[in-house]
Structure 1
Amino acid sequence: MNLAKLSVLRPVAMAMFIVLLLILGAVSLRNLPIDLFPELNFPVVAVTASYEGAGPEEIEQLITRPIEEMMSGVPNVESVSSTSRTGGALILVSFDWGTDLDFATLTMRERIDQIRDHLPSGVGTPQVMRFDPSMLPIVQLAITESTENLAEAKKIVENEIKPRLDSIDGVAAVRIEGGADQEIRLDVDPDHLTNYGLSMTDLQQLISSENLNLPGGLVTDADQSLPIRITGEFQSVYDLEVLPIVTNEGIIPLGNLVDIREARAPLSQESYVNGAPAVGVSVLKASGTNTVAVARSINREIQSLKTLLPRGTEINTIFDQSRFIEQSIRAVGWNIAIGGFLAAIVLYIFLRNIRSTLIIGISIPISIMTTFLFLYFYGETLNILTLGGLALGVGMMVDNAIVILENIYRKRQAGEGREDASISGTNEIGGAIVASTLTTVVVFLPIVFVEGLAAQLFKPLAITVAFSLLASLITALIIVPLLSSTFLKVNDDVTAFQQGFNRTKKIYEQLLRNSLAKPKIILFSTFVLLGLSLTCIPLLGTEFLPEQDQSFISIDARLPVGTALGATYELTEEINELLRDIPEVDLTFVTVGGTDQFTIGAGSQSNRASYSILLKEQTERNRSDLEVAEDIRTRLKQVANADISISASDMGLSEHPISITIRGQDLQTLERITGDIIDSISTIEGVREPKSNYTEGNPEVTVRINRQAAASYGLGSAQIASTIGHATKGLIATRLARNGDELNVRLQVDERYTASVSHLEQLLIDTPSGERIPLSTVANIVRSQGPSSIRRADRLREMTVTADIIGRDLGSIIHDIEITLKESVRPILPSGYRITFGGQNEQMNDAFMKLGGAITLAIVLVYMVMAGRFESFFYPFIIMFTVPVTAIGIILGLLVTNQPLGVGSLIGILILTGIVVNNAIVLVDYINTLKKDGLSTYDAIVLAGPIRLRPILMTALTTILGLIPLTLGFGEGTEVQQPMAIVIVFGLTVSTFITLFLVPVIYSITDKRKAKKVDTITEL
């Protein structure tokens, strides 16, 4: 018993099945995690190691090279790159796509353990962590205090805000950035200490040995065993001041030996929101949790905290990923609703029957809920790509139902009863419907074999479209016959539209007869149009992924390496003044020192300021984020002696649009080549802010120890280095517990001893004999230039030139750059040096090659599915002529909309490959049916064409109109789906009209030749 017959004869059971489907779909929708993008698995693992005070060259020699050598031997490693800078190293290990990163990370940790003992003693344990976009914060806050007391603000964050946020379900970690810590400062005059026979190390040992609570064993008293507890911990600063110190002059209170005061701890990073000092808080979500739900819980907790915090304390939201997600999902949801409404209008116009429209209208939510059910059990998240797939599928979702309903409606008009028409109408067209659905679904199979970022992004979209079509097939074969047999009525009234459509059918029939009479004109015209379209391909630009307006702009400002934190802060004040009157700016957050939220950093960067600029909602501004960024770029050009870069529409998913890498041996030669490249590409239209990752040498003080002189005094290099380190960095003697907080007690040499190189030369060093000698006696101290950072790739030196683009597509700009470099740089490139292109260009080329292969394989699979359906290689060959003619509409659509060819466009072509054959399948299948009934080929074509004209136009129009909102780019977050929608709409529109004439003509020609061949064989 077939599905249509079962659904018609068992209406109660089918009704219960429908209700169950809707309930399960609603439950699945409620439990689907919501995110901006699918969870991505970048094959990159980072290793970070810190070595405080070490320069880039020492870092490279002692840390980077040993780790690089160990990592290169890990299986499936594609490349190893590193950055060595003052205080730390960052090694990035890139693996082949598809590598099991859990196992790879475990292997890397084992390799690190093997070399840990061979690293210098001062090196912290190297940290291994995967690069995962889920590590980025979903909410970023800035807490300000009215008195601008950063220590108080940080205390509030640590004691009040962080614990409350940590307790929220779904929050993985809460990071605190900036702010200030209080500490107890013991300012030491080394000369004064020497008079009492003490050194800083002696003082540190004495203080730490006194600040202890120790167990003293047990004592028995009155038949009780009592533990002995010896308390000696400091309770206040006063305890430090009166601490007795044994000296060669007798016992003297510590307060008489050093100057004790409470002060702010040294800062390596400062944060400001709209110019006011702030403490930054970044909230990270747990993997697999619902971003929107977690962010909403965070925002509710923030509102609750605002009523409990001290007066004058404010919480500002700098970044909230859920805001953009909700806007994007809302926009896509509206596009789905509008698309469904337009499809319903098409149905009503063609059938002029409200009940028919309701049948299709009911099938849409059933199909959508079934799709959500499939997504839930498949383990997908609800994001802008899966919803985009649903928006792409909503127009196609009703195609199957339309074709079956139209066939049932036509049989009802012919006089058949409800049940008979529902069963026979479904059975007659059911095979063609299954075949057309499978041809659309099967095109997504090749994406399973595609690797890379593009595949990870668009696999969920492809899966969603496939699920939606399978859901629509189930609905068409079961629900539509059931509803048609229950309350479908035939409207016999002849409306103006029906009269007009009947005239259209007659015109089409006449044109079809003329086409069959003069087939060469149809073939020649089609090939001419196709040839003209292909000649326009060079006019199309290329891109990787379209830019998205997320109302967020980042600025990276850098002064010369070695610039102090205070000077960098003064730079931010100048930038703030230039940004003050930009109307689109809602909030400005800047971090002075350190790195931004979207970069894995290594070492100190006191010369760097990172801005996060939050713009107003798109509806509240007239300019896009790119236009605002260009305005900011123009304003900041007047800032002197600073390297400033501005970026917008950054999804954090791809690299710089332009990235040119130069590899070779000599750093000076590499620097010269990068300079030539920057000068050459700066003149190319569309290139913005070309810069090199090479920076000028880091000013440093080099202490060259005279080993013979040092040995004569009984001194070693380690003791001299320790004395210098204590003088410049201070020495943590102990910690003081007070009011629930612990403060560092820092011994710090008076600043006058380290105020300049000449003062450093006079720093006194204690010798084993008790003598004190100046540093200049055993060492030569000079100012010099050291490298600020050293970058390597696959254990070779490299430099990279990066740039952003504006106003032009990536492919055209890269083409111009290649021509420019070929003329100006490559002819003078020294032997052993090579230039390669990376960044988005490399990602784009890789994606184009793999998706091109996927499209080719999809065409083969579509042909195989049709061959199985028709049990013939002949008829699928005829239908496949519809695929190449889609190029006419695709190229026309991209040119009209000024849309470059990108990954989204290629995915649209892939989907279109499965869609365009559907109309031809329905037409050819009915021609074959009529031929089986005894009609000649000519009569079958002339009869089938007009009869199938209505379902063909209805399915094409519902798909096209369903995608119109996405094609126009309504709402936030639709930029990714827009190229796909443009390709499908224009490609399907043009191919539908061509198919109505081309397929019948080719069918007629090939059938005649086939018949002639059979006659020849028969005669033989």
Structure 2
Amino acid sequence: ILLLPAIGVSINMISMFAFLVVLGMGVDDAIVVGENVYEFRQKGMGHMAAAIKGAREISKPVTFSIITTIVAFVPLLFMPGTTGKFWAPLPAVVIIVLAISLLEALYILPAHLAHSSSEPHTGFGRRIHAMQQSFSNGFSRFVDTHYRRLLDMCLRHRYITLSSAIAIFIVVGGYGTSGHMGMIMMPQVAADEIEAGIRLPVGTTPDQAARVAGLVTDSTRRMFEEHNLYEVAEGVKTNVRRGSFIDVEIVMRPPDEHDTSAEEIIALWRDQIGDIEGVSQITFEAERGPGGWRQDISVDLSHSNIETLEAASQALLLRVQEFEGVTNVNDNYDKGKAQFDFTLLPEGKNLGLTPADVGQQVRDAFYGALALRQIRGTDEIEVRVKLPKEDRKDIQSFADLVIVTPAGAEVPLLEVVNVKRGAAFSSINRRDGRRVINVSLDVEPKRQVSRVLEAIQTETLPDLRADFPGLTWTFEGSQAEMRESTAALWGSFGLAIAVVYALLAIAFSSYLQPLIVMTAIPFGVVGAIIGHIILGFDLSLISFMGVIALSGVVVNDALIMIDFANRKRDSHSAFDAIHMAGLRRFRPIILTTLTTFGGLTPIIMETSRQSAYLVPMAISLGFGIVFATAIILVLVPCLYMILEDLKSHAGNTRTA
């Protein structure tokens, strides 16, 4: 906590979650060191000697295990966009705590253990000690009987064990990537607000906008009364923006006070409002926390010809509405106010007229020509001459308007120009210098977003380009952010895996043994998927962030097991060494798994809205560690022996 201000991190929801995440991890190395010291104490060594020998023996694998965990969290520091800023405190806190915990485990903890009291316990302490001894003896009996038999069986049938593990990975991984599980940007949480966004034609008067706002507000209040929604929502807010946009918001009560979803209210609201005369577009959205209002799919269309671009956007609007579950289809194209476009005819040019001459005289007729400017006190008064008000409102005035040529002659306006009705642009949207029209939509349920997105990418847009040659498109909004974040995550993940491999290669002085340790990573992913399935969560970007962090955590137990086996190879066979390593490391592996999962359990079980963004990462970490531990205890020893088999086979081949 003392170091957080120095790195710009405050005490907030994410940093507190980071402390919960690292709560179990931070004691893992202490458990491993303490358990190793305890083993030497059981052999009759004194407190000081056991503390020194136990800490020294385990210092190398513990140091590398902490470093690999830190490396796995580093990619989360470089997440781009809003998501990266939102989650930045998590890896920062975890890295700091892990670094400090390493110092504590290797120096402070052994010092405490070296000066432990050997005096017999009395009173309440005696009863606690008796309970601890009873549990420890029972745990040891379980290891010496049940786990020993399981390990013997798996080692002797190691190829069947490996095949079974691969089958589990294929089945679960295939299910996770088959589309049966939803893939979403952010976890779905209860909405704070629900908004109806109403777009009016450009040029709508304030009175007309107020009338529409009143109609929508009245419809909303009737909906509240008919469906008794006052227990669900606190009230309604209406805001008219720039005359052409109206926002009507329903402020929701906390989700623990009701069980009505935002989707249910939106369905009622859409039916209640219906179609309103004079409204260009109505969209309904639910505000769900970080990122604010965002639509599920957003496409920017671009073309060199604005008429073609407009036609293509309208065609896309119609086609995406045919997809099941698609709602709130809209675009950002607005034709703007009606206008008359003047084109100078050859007859006008022959009379010496220019477009500027004609434009100025038409403007003077309707907006006024400056006739007099007079100073009265501190005020300047302008006198302008223009057509009478009733003529300025009559379109026939164009037919009667007279233009004066440079020679002083008077000619009717329509004899020198061609007049055509058109529309002014209320705004011109560009992205990277290209004129674009954005088409956006929502999908319900959210797990179907990836399916609809794939259909639009592979079918709808290519067909649209066939109808409108030269059309290009890009995905923006939440899709662009997810694409950018996912690409950054996978790139960082690949680099982190490479660094972890390099660290393990240094620790083992081998290029093959790190591969054994790293088999825990894919099975950690399997555990994360199983956790999401059990708890009914869709996979999200936050879930993938948890998987990346998991990759550095799950290798720790395997690292320490392989290190122990390597040290025993000097005096034992490969089978005996890995068998002893499995039995010896079972206790610390189980304890570290339980502490890590226990630290994450409160978040996994939390149901508040604030925790909804944290739960997927906690599920990935917690269930991934539990499943990977089960795999490590049986598969890593088998892989160790399979590697020895391959070495023996290679040696026999060279000898032959």
Residues 588 and 611 of structure 1 are in contact (CA less than 8 Å); yes or no, is this contact kept in structure 2? yes
Residue aligning to 1:552 = 193
Alpha-carbon spacing, 1:704–1:493, altered in 2? closer, same or farther (3 Å): closer
CA-CA distance at 1:735 after TM superposition: 11
Residue aligning to 1:660 = 299
CA-CA distance at 1:963 after TM superposition: 1.4
CA-CA distance at 1:441 after TM superposition: 0.9
Structure 1: gaps of 5 or more residues: 1-24, 29-372, 595-605, 738-743, 768-772
CA-CA distance at 1:568 after TM superposition: 0.8
Residues 688 and 803 of structure 1 are in contact (CA less than 8 Å); yes or no, is this contact kept in structure 2? yes
CA-CA distance at 1:677 after TM superposition: 1.9
Residue aligning to 1:514 = 153
CA-CA distance at 1:992 after TM superposition: 0.7
Residues 703 and 780 of structure 1 are in contact (CA less than 8 Å); yes or no, is this contact kept in structure 2? yes
Residue aligning to 2:6 = 377
Matches within 5 A, 1:504-543: 504-505=142-143, 506-536=145-175, 537-538=177-178, 539-543=180-184
Residue aligning to 1:614 = 251
Matches within 5 A, 1:452-491: 454-486=83-115, 491=129
1:936 pairs with 2:567: no
CA-CA distance at 1:733 after TM superposition: 9.2
Residue aligning to 2:363 = 721
Aligned equivalents of 2:84, 2:607: Cα separation in 1:
25
CA-CA distance at 1:525 after TM superposition: 0.9
1:590 pairs with 2:238: yes
TM-score with structure 2 length normalisation? 0.82
Residue aligning to 2:325 = 686
CA-CA distance at 1:805 after TM superposition: 2.4
Aligned equivalents of 2:182, 2:333: Cα separation in 1:
31
Q: 1:409 aligns with which of 16, 38, 50?
A: 38
1:432 pairs with 2:61: yes
Residue aligning to 1:639 = 276
Give aligned pairs, total.
622
Residues 551 and 625 of structure 1 are in contact (CA less than 8 Å); yes or no, is this contact kept in structure 2? no
Secondary structure of the structure 2 residue equivalent to 1:443: helix
CA-CA distance at 1:434 after TM superposition: 0.8
1:839 pairs with 2:477: yes
CA-CA distance at 1:576 after TM superposition: 0.9
CA-CA distance at 1:681 after TM superposition: 1.5
Residue aligning to 2:20 = 391
CA-CA distance at 1:636 after TM superposition: 2.8
1:920 pairs with 2:561: no
Aligned equivalents of 1:869, 1:734: Cα separation in 2:
91
Aligned equivalents of 1:442, 1:637: Cα separation in 2:
55
Q: What is the letter of the counterpart of residue 663 of structure 1? A: S
Aligned equivalents of 1:867, 1:734: Cα separation in 2:
90
Residues 565 and 593 of structure 1 are in contact (CA less than 8 Å); yes or no, is this contact kept in structure 2? no
Higher relative contact order (CA 8 A, sep 6+): 2
CA-CA distance at 1:465 after TM superposition: 2.2
Alpha-carbon spacing, 1:514–1:764, altered in 2? closer, same or farther (3 Å): closer
Secondary structure of the structure 1 residue equivalent to 2:183: coil
Q: What is the letter of the counterpart of residue 554 of structure 2? A: V
Aligned equivalents of 1:522, 1:628: Cα separation in 2:
52
Aligned equivalents of 2:381, 2:643: Cα separation in 1:
93
Alpha-carbon spacing, 1:936–1:811, altered in 2? closer, same or farther (3 Å): same
Residue aligning to 1:992 = 629
1:802 pairs with 2:440: yes
Aligned equivalents of 1:616, 1:520: Cα separation in 2:
57
Residues 899 and 979 of structure 1 are in contact (CA less than 8 Å); yes or no, is this contact kept in structure 2? yes
Q: What is the letter of the counterpart of residue 397 of structure 1? A: G
Aligned equivalents of 1:635, 1:670: Cα separation in 2:
34
Alpha-carbon spacing, 1:722–1:872, altered in 2? closer, same or farther (3 Å): same
Matches within 5 A, 1:137-156: none
Aligned equivalents of 1:879, 1:734: Cα separation in 2:
91
Aligned equivalents of 1:945, 1:747: Cα separation in 2:
99
Residue aligning to 2:620 = 983
Q: What is the letter of the counterpart of residue 308 of structure 2? A: T
Residue aligning to 1:955 = 592
Residues 524 and 625 of structure 2 are in contact (CA less than 8 Å); yes or no, is this contact kept in structure 1? yes
TM-score with structure 1 length normalisation? 0.54
1:573 pairs with 2:573: no
Alpha-carbon spacing, 1:460–1:719, altered in 2? closer, same or farther (3 Å): farther
Q: What is the letter of the counterpart of residue 238 of structure 2? A: V
Residues 283 and 329 of structure 2 are in contact (CA less than 8 Å); yes or no, is this contact kept in structure 1? no
Residue aligning to 1:852 = 490
CA-CA distance at 1:900 after TM superposition: 3.4
Structure 2: gaps of 5 or more residues: 122-128, 405-409
Secondary structure of the structure 2 residue equivalent to 1:885: helix
Aligned equivalents of 1:805, 1:919: Cα separation in 2:
42
Q: What is the letter of the counterpart of residue 566 of structure 2? A: N
Residues 27 and 595 of structure 2 are in contact (CA less than 8 Å); yes or no, is this contact kept in structure 1? yes
Aligned equivalents of 2:437, 2:555: Cα separation in 1:
50
Residue aligning to 1:17 = none
Secondary structure of the structure 1 residue equivalent to 2:607: coil
Secondary structure of the structure 1 residue equivalent to 2:259: coil
Matches within 5 A, 1:141-540: 373=3, 375-446=4-75, 451=80, 454-486=83-115, 491=129, 497-498=135-136, 500-505=138-143, 506-536=145-175, 537-538=177-178, 539-540=180-181
Q: 2:582 aligns with which of 930, 935, 945?
A: 945
Deviation string 1:408-433 (CA, Å, 9 cap, x unpaired) is 33434444433333333322222211
Q: What is the letter of the counterpart of residue 560 of structure 1? A: P
Residues 465 and 471 of structure 2 are in contact (CA less than 8 Å); yes or no, is this contact kept in structure 1? no
CA-CA distance at 1:569 after TM superposition: 0.8
Residue aligning to 1:1004 = 641
**What is the percent sequence identity of the aligned residues?**
26
The 10-residue stretch of structure 1 (921-930 or 987-996) with the greater mean CA deviation from structure 2: 921-930
Alpha-carbon spacing, 1:829–1:1011, altered in 2? closer, same or farther (3 Å): same
Q: What is the letter of the counterpart of residue 163 of structure 2? A: F
Secondary structure of the structure 1 residue equivalent to 2:428: strand
Residue aligning to 2:126 = none
CA-CA distance at 1:778 after TM superposition: 12
Residues 326 and 442 of structure 2 are in contact (CA less than 8 Å); yes or no, is this contact kept in structure 1? yes
Residues 879 and 999 of structure 1 are in contact (CA less than 8 Å); yes or no, is this contact kept in structure 2? yes
1:906 pairs with 2:535: no
Q: What is the letter of the counterpart of residue 889 of structure 1? A: G
Aligned equivalents of 1:755, 1:859: Cα separation in 2:
74
Secondary structure of the structure 2 residue equivalent to 1:798: strand
Alpha-carbon spacing, 1:439–1:658, altered in 2? closer, same or farther (3 Å): same
Q: 2:501 aligns with which of 863, 867, 877?
A: 863
Q: What is the letter of the counterpart of residue 57 of structure 2? A: E
CA-CA distance at 1:545 after TM superposition: 2.7
Higher helix share: 2
Residues 285 and 293 of structure 2 are in contact (CA less than 8 Å); yes or no, is this contact kept in structure 1? no
Residues 703 and 779 of structure 1 are in contact (CA less than 8 Å); yes or no, is this contact kept in structure 2? no
Matches within 5 A, 1:731-880: 756-757=393-394, 784-788=421-425, 789-809=427-447, 810-818=449-457, 820-821=459-460, 825-826=463-464, 828-880=466-518
Alpha-carbon spacing, 1:777–1:665, altered in 2? closer, same or farther (3 Å): closer
Deviation string 1:96-138 (CA, Å, 9 cap, x unpaired) is xxxxxxxxxxxxxxxxxxxxxxxxxxxxxxxxxxxxxxxxxxx
Residue aligning to 1:562 = 203
Aligned-residue RMSD, C-alpha:
4.2
